[in-house]
Amino acid sequence: MSDILAVEQLDVRHGLLQAVRGVSFSVTKGEIVAFVGANGAGKTTLFRTIAGAHRPTGGRILFEGSDVTALPDYRRVQQGIALVPEGRRLFMQMSVRENLQLAGEVGRPGRWDVKAVLEVFPNLAARINAKAGNLSGGEQQATAIGRALMTNPEVLLLDEISLGLSPAAVGRVYESLKALMETGTTILLVEQDLNRALSVAHRVICMLEGNIAAEGPVEEMTRERIMDAYFGLHRAAGAGA
């Protein structure tokens, strides 16, 4: 199966800080890849760079075989890459419906419209005319994911979707995601809850200090291996050998 997304030797800086260092990976259509790692590992910067919000200082990004490294973020949305950012970043004075419809106007034609989003996130139906700022955290997260879906993406980037939510709200969001995953959308997600990540992903990539410290299919990535990479213990062991 051909790759829908490929990242090759990507470097990203924030001033003098190199946040992503020579990162390379590829994703096939319909695959679900979970990115884990401590705060500051480079996960959010990587996702924002793939989406076009950051310009890399080296390497390239290929989407469906085409180099999109120099494309601005709105052009990537039009091509089929959508980001649900950390913190959601909704238009808080606009209603749920208005947030969804606005995204639909800048996206691509496809199966996702307001009705389709409400089928995946039925808890939003009763809140469709409520201002986003008056929603619960879980409802805001559902709206943010729905907004991204309204652009009809081929690749959906989900950054910290459970951050700041109650366990019950996280459960509802993940139940809805399972329905979304059955549609064949390619999903990359950053998740601090390792159990949640392992429950939905096909593959896990663990980042440490801007690098990929470990990666592999979920069935091969034991919790011990992931935690060793998470804390850099594999590197420390190698240095002491």
Helix (H, G, I), strand (E, B) or coil at 87: coil
- Length of the chain counted residue by residue: 241
Q: Using one digit for the tens of pLDDT, what is the confidence trace for 93-133?
A: 999 999 999 888 887 888 899 999 998 888 899 999 999 99
Sole residue written with tokens 């949305």: 77
pLDDT, residue 65, reads 94
- Domain topology for 3-240: Rossmann fold (3.40.50)
Q: Which two tokens stand for residue 101?
A: 């419809």
Phi-psi region for residue 232, left (φ > 0), alpha (ψ -120 to 50) or beta? Answer: left
Helix axes 223-230, 233-240, angle to 10 degrees: 80
pLDDT, residue 233, reads 63
Q: Which two tokens stand for residue 204?
A: 């896990």
pLDDT, residue 1, reads 59
What dihedral do alpha carbons 193, 199, 200, 203 form, nearest 10°?
A: 90
Q: Which two tokens stand for residue 228?
A: 């060793």
Q: How many CB atoms lie within 10 A of CB 192?
A: 15
Confidence class for position 155, pLDDT limits 50, 70, 90: very high
Confidence class for position 224, pLDDT limits 50, 70, 90: confident
Question: DSSP readout, 28-54?
Answer: ETT-EEEEE--TTSSHHHHHHHHHTSS
- Scanning 163-217, the segments in alpha helix (DSSP H) are 167-181, 194-200
